[in-house]
Amino acid sequence: MGEDELARQLEAPGGAPATRRSGARDADSNAPPPDLQRQAAMEAALRRQERLLDAIFHNILAQVAFLDRNLNFVRVNTAYVEGCGHTEEEMIGRNHFDLFPNQENEVIFRRVLETGEPFVARARSFVFADQPERGVTYWDWWLRPIRGPEGEAEGLVLSLADVTSIERARRDVERLNAELAEASAAKDRFLSVVSHELRNPLSAILAGVQVLCASGEPDPRRRAVLDIIERGVRLQTRLVNDLLDLSRLTQERLHLKQEAVDLESVVREAARAQQADADAAGVALRVAAEPGLRVPGDADRLHQVVLNLLSNAIKFTPKGGRVRVRCFATNARCSESPTSNVERRTLSAARIVVEDTGIGISAELLPRLFEMFRQGETGGSRRTGLGIGLALVKGLVERHGGRVRAESEGPGKGSRFVVDLPCPGDQETSDERAGKLAGSR
């Protein structure tokens, strides 16, 4: 009985061997002996297993090759053939390094054979000598020994994954990041130089205006002109100083003093500095500041924060509108940055709020409002400016361990800027103080 006939009998439905019908002989007389049945069943199972493994071998995405001890190709899968640029017939029986010469890789292959230690490489470069048009390619590869009965290395199995496109993209990103970093550094250097160069002539102009104002009693028209010039020079000087500070901040060269800062004094002084601009714009400026509220930090820089927020509010509030600045103690999470020196917990914080009845902020602009040089339409109209004031506010507040946010219900509905700064936890909040006062009555 042939092998195929025996297998067909063993694989008949129901598990029973198939039999030929015969009127002259008993059906069981043609059944193979039990030993032959078991052998045929094992051979059939082995063939099924081989077909399964062969299907897996040729359908996996990795490029796989088996090599003997002499590094000759024994078997390759479909992915390997498609990726290497040679047919299976060209490879089988040929030495790997006759087809793909590379002295460094050959040393690695022979070391794995000798030591039995696997080798893994990530994004390893390779140039096909016979396919120069492919340029430099990159591969993840795994090289493992095939061990014999005694544990000796009989050959190698090589698994490859072509990561050329991924590696080239990664290198392009690294190159672009380096170019962007250099461009950003050049921009910071340029801003620093320009700020210094602008500040010197502005100081001279301001000094000249002050001399003219102090010399005699000028007529009202001349005095008005000098006031306009002085206000414009002071504004430009502040913009230049902000630009220089922002440059220092981005380069981490801005140093802050550490002292106990009376926040009420800071807020009131900033409001006084902006009062003339508010009056000129026809905007009512109001201040409400809790006395005795102290925070650790740099008084000049915190004054700069409040000044910029008030200037921004006045700038975007039409004539007849109102701007109000408040500061008070509250319970708030001052910092959510893991790099901050402020613990991530609820603690006593000093809050500064600058709110206006101005033209408002669109929802699309709110998330990007504190970006450097960000300019956009606010309340449906565009305002001129460098777009550095709010970026500087954010940087200075974060350097103090705090945070700042902007709120607005939309165009035409005003805006609200909230700054939270960490302060000693033993200070009472306004709510706690009001509760004590109510309880003492």
- Residue 7 in this model has a pLDDT that exceeds 70: no
Instruction: Say if residue 216's pLDDT is above 90.
Output: no
The stretch 41-47 carries a mean pLDDT of 86
Both 79 and 32 in one domain: the answer is no
- Which range, of 114-128, 141-155, 380-394, averages the lowest pLDDT? 380-394
pLDDT for 383 equals 52
Q: What's the mean pLDDT in 380-395?
A: 70
pLDDT at residue 347 above 50?
no
Would the pLDDT of 30 be above 90?
Answer: no
Kindly state whether residues 286 and 393 are assigned to the same domain: yes
Q: In 206-336, where do the E strands start and end?
A: 259-262, 284-289, 294-297, 322-332
CA distances from 38 to 20, 30, 51 (A): 20, 16, 20
State the helix-helix crossing angle for 220-250 and 299-315, rounded to 10 degrees. 120
Contact by Cβ (8 Å): 417, 353: yes
Determine, yes or no, domain membership for 395.
yes
Report residue 29's pLDDT band, with 50, 70 and 90 as the boundaries: low
Q: Is residue 35 part of a domain?
A: yes
**Is the predicted pLDDT of residue 373 greater than 60, yes or no?**
yes
399, 256 Cβ separation under 8 angstroms: yes
Closest CA relative to residue 294, chosen from 426, 402, 156, 418? 426
pLDDT computed for residue 333 by the predictor = 57
Q: Which domain holds residue 188?
A: 177-254
Average pLDDT over residues 329-358: 67
421 and 273 in a single domain? The answer is: yes
CB 129 within 8 A of CB 151: no
Of 100, 129, 162, which one is at a domain's C-terminal end?
A: 162
Residue 92 has pLDDT above 80, yes or no: yes
Asked if residues 305 and 396 have their Cβ atoms less than 8 Å apart, the reply is yes
Q: pLDDT at position 17, please?
A: 45
Q: Alpha-carbon distance 297 to 303, whole Å?
A: 11
pLDDT class for 423, splitting at 50, 70, 90? confident
Domains in the chain: how many in total? 4
As to burial, measured by CB atoms within 10 angstroms (0-12 exposed, 13-18 middle, 19+ buried), residue 340 is middle
List the single range of 3-12, 131-140, 232-241, 305-314 with lowest mean pLDDT. Answer: 3-12
Asked if residue 239 and residue 134 are part of one domain, the reply reads: no
CATH number at residue 96: 3.30.450.20
At residue 137, the 3 state secondary structure works out as strand
Cα separation of 68 and 73, whole Å? 7
CA distance 394 to 314: 19
Q: Could you tell me which residues come within 8 angstroms of residue 65 by beta carbon, excluding any fewer than 6 positions away?
A: 73, 75, 76, 77, 80, 91, 96, 157, 158, 160
pLDDT for 378 beyond 60: no
Is there a single domain that holds both residue 344 and residue 293?
Answer: yes
* Mean pLDDT taken over the chain: 81
Q: What is the pTM of this model?
A: 0.54
Whether the pLDDT of residue 406 is over 90: the answer is yes
> With 60 as the cut, is the pLDDT of residue 254 above it?
yes
Asked if 53 and 71 sit in the same domain, the reply is: no
pLDDT of residue 374: 61
Q: Last residue of a domain, which of 37, 58, 79?
A: 58
Is residue 218 very low, low, confident or very high in pLDDT (cuts 50, 70, 90)? low
The CATH number of whichever domain residue 227 belongs to comes to: 1.10.287.130
User: Among 53-57, 192-196, 220-224, 398-402, where is mean pLDDT lowest?
Assistant: 192-196
pLDDT-derived band at 411 (thresholds 50, 70, 90) equals very high
Same domain, 198 and 81: no
The verdict on residue 168 lying in a domain is: no
Q: How confident is the model at residue 65 (pLDDT cuts 50, 70, 90)?
A: very high
Residue 171 lies in a domain: no
Of the pLDDT bands very low, low, confident and very high (cuts 50, 70, 90), residue 16 is very low
Which pLDDT score, from 0 to 100, does residue 197 have? 74
* pLDDT value for 58: 81
Among 128-137, 162-171, 215-224, whose mean pLDDT is lowest? 215-224
Q: Name the token pair of 423.
A: 């302060």
